Structure 1
């Protein structure tokens, strides 16, 4: 179990909305998922932010157990039946294909934009806290090339 300082660091990078709890820390490419970096036993650790959240609630996950985003939001870290649940790899892939999140080896946001670009836009929209209008715009508007923002 992570120590209190690590847990506080994790939650300092989360912005809660009435539905999803959005990760605002590091984002990996090309999948657009949050990454949480922390120290444990004098070693640097990097984990999926949503997996860290599930393990905070349920404890360490067994081999073959993955996290499934029922809310279809890669940045969500809310452990809840309508958001983030434990699943199997095959069930998670089936769900992603059914929702249009996975096409071959390409991770999409449903409109053809890369998931990492979408996640970066959402993180930028949450820079000053939750703003529903800004988040909705980030989710739906591809906008300018996100690489020019950073």
Structure 2
């Protein structure tokens, strides 16, 4: 069985030429607050056809529970709240970080692959650069 992160990255790589939506179910668990736990994640990638409609939450929860079923049937049967949070990624694995043309001091910071490991480091770098340049009154430059 392939690691879900490898499957997700492979799916993201195909995003530019997908003809129909595809998804990966990551059956996993992570602590959430003092008494909770997050169970699983679905990475849904749609064709670049301008679709703006949100995925059907009931269908997505069903897919997530099916993925959890293979990991632990008791987890799949737990009562819980399904949360749907859109996340973006950049094609060719490149994040979009930089100033927005025509909007001084407005920056984008989005589209990271493996955001839990890469975004915190890049956020700290961006914050340091912004703070240093703010002190000088000039626009920062991040590469």
TM category, shorter: under 0.3
Give the TM-score normalised by structure 2.
Answer: 0.27
Task: From the two aligned structures, give the one with the greater helix fraction.
Answer: 2
